[in-house]
């Protein structure tokens, strides 16, 4: 079984130490995390971890099962890239002189959908969103014009066709740990991409 990119989504209670316990699971299984993002959800007191890894599906299934054994975890599941809508935010710090003196840079930034978020005498910071390939491409374009710094966020992702997921999340919050399996089948009745 070959490795490929998976996006894990883990819904947890907002408790101190849960990130450390989840990280230990990855470390013990010798799985490298490509991207990590955590944020509140639409349900009060529930947090969401979005984790990107390259691994076999069998290993990812075992990983989700192990993560769900944590008391504070409500649900953990995984998806391939075609089952989600996702974006990453990127910030680029560029010499202000390069922007003002070379109109070509400004035109390139418009082509990539970038917008200025901070303008200082010595530098200007632009932001853009997109897939990794898009944000990396803009890095290469800006390097000859004095790219000072670049940073990219972790992935944020939303499930395709999960119209009733809000209600299911509330059910997970009320259920006892371990009541749901680690598979993605719980959404299968409403969205065929999650059946396994």
pLDDT digits (tens, 9 = 90+) for 102-148: 767 778 788 888 988 998 999 999 999 999 898 999 898 888 888 99
Domain of residue 64, residue span: 4-79+161-194
134 and 172 together in one domain: no
Q: What is the pLDDT of residue 169?
A: 63
Cβ proximity of 118 and 149 under 8 Å:
no
Instruction: Give the chain's domain count.
Output: 2
Per-residue pLDDT band at 189 (split at 50, 70, 90): very low
10 and 55 together in one domain: yes
DSSP assigned state of 23: H
41 and 56 together in one domain: yes
75 and 17 together in one domain: yes
pLDDT digits (tens, 9 = 90+) for 46-85: 899 999 999 999 999 999 999 999 888 988 989 998 888 9
Average pLDDT, the chain: 82
Contacts 24+ apart (CB under 8 A), 172-181: 172/11, 172/74, 172/75, 173/13, 173/43, 173/45, 173/46, 173/74, 175/74, 177/68, 177/69, 177/70, 177/71, 177/73, 178/68, 178/69, 180/68, 180/75, 181/65
Q: What angle do CA 51, 53, 55 make, to 5 degrees?
A: 140
Q: What is the pLDDT of residue 42?
A: 82
pLDDT at 186 over 70: no
Per-residue pLDDT band at 168 (split at 50, 70, 90): low
134 and 185 together in one domain: no
Q: What is the pLDDT of residue 170?
A: 63
140 and 97 together in one domain: yes
Provide the whole-model pTM.
Answer: 0.76
d(CA 191, CA 84): 12
DSSP assignments along 140-186, one per residue = HHHGGGTEEEEEEPPPEEEETT-TTHHHHHHHHHHSPTTSS-SSSGG
């Amino acid at each position: 079984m070959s490795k490929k990119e998976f996006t894990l989504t883990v819904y947890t209670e907002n408790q101190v130490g849960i990130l450390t316990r989840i990280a230990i699971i990855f470390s013990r299984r010798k799985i490298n995390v490509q991207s990590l993002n955590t944020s509140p959800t639409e349900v009060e007191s529930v947090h969401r971890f979005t984790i990107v890894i390259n691994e076999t599906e069998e290993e990812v299934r075992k990983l989700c099962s192990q993560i769900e054994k944590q008391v504070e975890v409500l649900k953990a599941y995984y998806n391939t890239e075609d089952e989600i809508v996702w974006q990453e935010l990127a910030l680029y710090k560029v010499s202000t002189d390069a922007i003002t003196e070379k109109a070509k840079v400004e035109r390139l930034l418009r082509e990539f959908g970038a917008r200025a978020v901070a303008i200082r005498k010595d530098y200007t910071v632009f932001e853009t969103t997109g897939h990794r390939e898009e944000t990396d491409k803009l890095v290469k374009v800006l390097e000859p014009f004095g790219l000072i710094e670049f940073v990219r966020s972790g992935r944020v992702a939303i499930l395709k066709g999960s119209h009733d997921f809000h209600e299911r999340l509330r059910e997970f919050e009320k259920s006892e740990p371990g009541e749901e399996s680690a598979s993605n089948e719980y959404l299968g009745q409403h969205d065929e991409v999650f059946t396994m």
